[in-house]
Amino acid sequence: DTGVSQDPRHKITKRGQNVTFRCDPISEHNRLYWYRQTLGQGPEFLTYFQNEAQLEKSRLLSDRFSAERPKGSFSTLEIQRTEQGDSAMYLCASSLRGQDNSPLHFGNGTRLTVT
């Protein structure tokens, strides 16, 4: 399978704990995105990378959130001191920067439940 891969698929954690999610994009894609989706809503943009550079961060991304893409390949999203409001599906997507915007290809997501 050469699609976008996310790990884990599900994560249940207690409030106050730290969690880290991983995303492996499609191998030739140089852009990587993180989105968050709550129940009944469309995905909301969190941040995106072009290669290893983080080019944009949403105001949704509080100080407790940090994303990295150290070698321009896989990416991690860490949430520190989780809160119940962080419960959501975290989606990763990748695309190829070219002369026009290639479609974003999404992974299956990581569903986070904070108890």
Partner 1 sequence: AQKVTQAQTEISVVEKEDVTLDCVYETRDTTYYLFWYKQPPSGELVFLIRRNSFDEQNEISGRYSWNFQKSTSSFNFTITASQVVDSAVYFCALIRLQGAQKLVFGQGTRLTINP
Kindly list the residues in this chain that would bind partner 1 in the complex (CB under 8 A).
31, 33, 35, 40-45, 48, 55-56, 58, 89, 91, 93, 100-101, 103-109, 111
Q: How far is the CB of 15 from partner 1 (least distance, A)?
A: 24
* Of residues 15 and 97, the one with the C-beta less far from partner 1: 97
Q: How far is the CB of 34 from partner 1 (least distance, A)?
A: 11
Q: How far is the CB of 84 from partner 1 (least distance, A)?
A: 21
Give me the amino acid identity at 75: S
* Of residues 47 and 82, the one with the C-beta less far from partner 1: 47
* Of residues 54 and 80, the one with the C-beta less far from partner 1: 54
Place of tokens 């994303």: 67
Q: How far is the CB of 85 from partner 1 (least distance, A)?
A: 19
DSSP string covering 23-89: EE--TT--EEEEEEE-TTS--EEEEEEETTEEEEE-TTS-TTEEEE-TTSS-EEEEESS--GGG-EE
Dihedral angle computed from the Cα positions of residues 113, 59, 25 and 92, in that order, rounded to the nearest 10 degrees: 30
